[in-house]
Structure 1
Amino acid sequence: MHLIEKLYTLIIFLAVIIGIGMGQVEIIRTNAESFIVPLLVVMLYITFLQIPLEEIRKAFKNIKFTYTSVTINFVWSPILAWLLALIFLSDHPALYIGFIMLMVTPCTDWYLIFTGIAKGNVALSTAILPLNLILQVTLLPVYLLIFGGTTGVIEFAFLVESILVVLFIPLVLALLTKVFLKHKQQLKDGLISNLSVLPIIFLSLAIMAMFASQGQLLLDNVDLMWQITIPILLFFIVNFFVGQKVGKIMRFSIPDRTSLSLTTLARNSPIALAIAMTAFPDQPLIALTLVIGPLLELPILAMITQILIFISKNKNP
């Protein structure tokens, strides 16, 4: 794992601070927004290029783990996120939307690191990764319309246009690149290896541009960010117990149960951020919610990892 990937949270935080600082210069503030979408398209193109879509079939070799994980991630977790948003964030539509966007997108990178640390089944967790990515890209617009359609924040036509630009264009370009490199495996492997850290860099630049253009508005509403903390904590606490309980009911081994917990806990803020910054350019609080998420998530996952290590040492499968 590259150093830049280990410092992901710090880099994102610094991008926010630098962006707000740059936004104090008028010429930067007025032009920064035009850089957001191109940076996000490049970020997602590189991200999709690294995902081995042909590996999806491997996820189905362990049918029981696959349908259990998919059910928790794409049926239970969206319902839980919606209930928490209704209870804690119904008076703040932007926070409501941002919270749901964060919680319905399972992680496609970080959870593997924590799974390895917690002695989980990393191979099993890796196999489910491409399926999680495809499902979240496909279902996120559906969740937004189902759970956020009554907030007054979402405009259907603009959402569809944004999804097309920021998700499907880079996805198609990545697929075409894979086809072009199909019989050039050495070149393909070298290209993917060299590009692996670039998504974080491009995401950080996009965040800097967003905060440069909208920074003052965010500073004026920073007190609202405390309201997002409680539902985020509750989401992780509830889903931790759900994952462990379901793992026991399904009679998973301790390593497989550990993989299930982390696969269904970790969230994928970069994908959600990319859509938020494109689909809701006039709602910076949505994007800010998705930036706050990882700042809370990573310490929480570190603590949960230690709990899972304790469980594996003190309980039998």
Structure 2
Amino acid sequence: MTTLEKLYSFIILGAVLFGLGLGQFDIFRTNTEYVITPLLVGMLYFTFLHIPFENIKKSLQNIKFTDTSLLINFVWTPVFAWALASIFLSEYPALSLGFIMLMVTPCTDWYLIFTGIAKGNTALSASILPINLLLQLLLLPVYLLVFSGTAGFVDFSMLAESILLVLLLPLLLAVMTNTFFKDPLKEKIRSTAVNAPVVFLSLAIAAMFASNGHFLLEHLDLLWKLTLPILLFFAINFIIGQKVGSIMKFSYQDKASLSLTTLARNSPIALAVALTAFPDQPFIALTLIVGPLLELPLLAGITQLLLFTRKN
């Protein structure tokens, strides 16, 4: 875990404040929106560079764990997220859509760090990573269609275009880099760009707040609406993950891996889609920024709870 990753929450909060400051000047408020998409493409390219797609074969060797985690992540969780959004956010369609987008995208990076801290089966968690990534890219438009198709501001042609641009383009470039570049050069790119995703994401968030911060500051009271459904999502899904792991007779290590694989969310990917597909709905993006500010402390607490259960 690099220093930047340890300080992720503080860096994101700093980017928000920096963007709000830039937004006080007309030159930044009117022009920063044009750099958001290129920054997001760069962020996801460097993120995808480190995805071990060769591990797909390994994940298929542990059918019981793979099937269990996929069912929780891609069947139970979308329905549960929709239910929470319907109960707590039905009066705020943009917040509801942002909440659903956050919760239906499983994490592809820092959940491995928390799995290691909790003494879980990190190798098993890593094996499921590429499948989680590919499925969320394919299923995100489906979830939005099924759960939010009547929201009014969901333009599915723009959504498809944004997925092609900010998700599939960097994924293709990353696969080409890993396939055609020779090992010394490929490893040099990977090692020198290890912190690039955090940097690019922070700049994109700063640009978003510089462009729309004035509007968001007028409605900060709505942020409190997100707190309860986010807390309930993590609390209930943690209990379900532990119960399912016990029913499946998983070891402690595999149960810890299952819990963290099905709890951690992939806010950067969801944010990339939101900023390009819904540029006139800043509250969707705001939900995806607030989410990790709550998520990371919650995951840290859950790892300590897992270690406590292991000791006892």
The TM-score range, normalised by the shorter chain, is over 0.9
Is 1:92 equivalent to 2:87 in the alignment? no
Is 1:46 equivalent to 2:46 in the alignment? yes
Aligned to 1:26: 26
Q: Could you give the per-residue CA deviations for residues 30-88 of structure 1, whole angstroms, max 9, x where no partner exists? A: 00100101111111111112212122111111110000001100110001000000000
Is 1:293 equivalent to 2:291 in the alignment? yes
Aligned to 1:162: 162
User: What TM-score does the superposition give when structure 1 sets the normalisation length?
Assistant: 0.97
Aligned residues: 312
Counterpart of 1:98, as a letter, is G
Q: Which of residues 212, 215, 218 is equivalent to 2:213?
A: 215
Counterpart of 1:172, as a letter, is L
Q: C-alpha distance in 2, partners of 1:190/1:59?
A: 27
Aligned to 2:120: 120
Counterpart of 2:275, as a letter, is M
Q: Could you give the per-residue CA deviations for residues 181-204 of structure 1, whole angstroms, max 9, x where no partner exists? A: 1xx222212211111110110111
Aligned to 1:171: 171
The farther-off stretch of 296-305 and 69-78 is: 296-305
Is contact 2:84–2:229 with CA below 8 Å preserved after alignment? yes
Is contact 1:5–1:200 with CA below 8 Å preserved after alignment? yes
Q: C-alpha distance in 1, partners of 2:302/2:169?
A: 37
Q: C-alpha distance in 1, partners of 2:138/2:8?
A: 26
Which structure 1 residue ranges, 5 or more long, are not aligned? none
Q: C-alpha distance in 2, partners of 1:104/1:221?
A: 25
Task: Tell me by how many angstroms 1:276 deviates.
Answer: 0.7
Q: Which of residues 269, 277, 284 is equivalent to 1:271?
A: 269
Counterpart of 2:246, as a letter, is K
Aligned to 1:70: 70
Which structure 2 residue ranges, 5 or more long, are not aligned? none
Counterpart of 2:191, as a letter, is S
Q: C-alpha distance in 2, partners of 1:257/1:2?
A: 26
Is contact 2:32–2:210 with CA below 8 Å preserved after alignment? yes
**Runs of 4+ with deviation above 6 angstroms:** none
Q: C-alpha distance in 2, partners of 1:148/1:10?
A: 32
Counterpart of 1:25, as a letter, is F
| Counterpart secondary structure, 1:28 | helix
Is contact 1:93–1:153 with CA below 8 Å preserved after alignment? no
Aligned to 1:231: 229
Counterpart of 1:66, as a letter, is T
Aligned to 2:307: 309
| Counterpart secondary structure, 1:106 | coil
Task: Tell me by how many angstroms 1:177 deviates.
Answer: 1.7
Q: C-alpha distance in 2, partners of 1:2/1:114?
A: 13
Counterpart of 1:83, as a letter, is A
Is contact 1:118–1:308 with CA below 8 Å preserved after alignment? yes
User: What TM-score does the superposition give when structure 2 sets the normalisation length?
Assistant: 0.98
Q: Which of residues 245, 258, 261 is equivalent to 1:260?
A: 258
Task: Tell me by how many angstroms 1:179 deviates.
Answer: 2.2
Identity %: 65
Is contact 2:39–2:200 with CA below 8 Å preserved after alignment? yes
Task: Tell me by how many angstroms 1:131 deviates.
Answer: 1.2
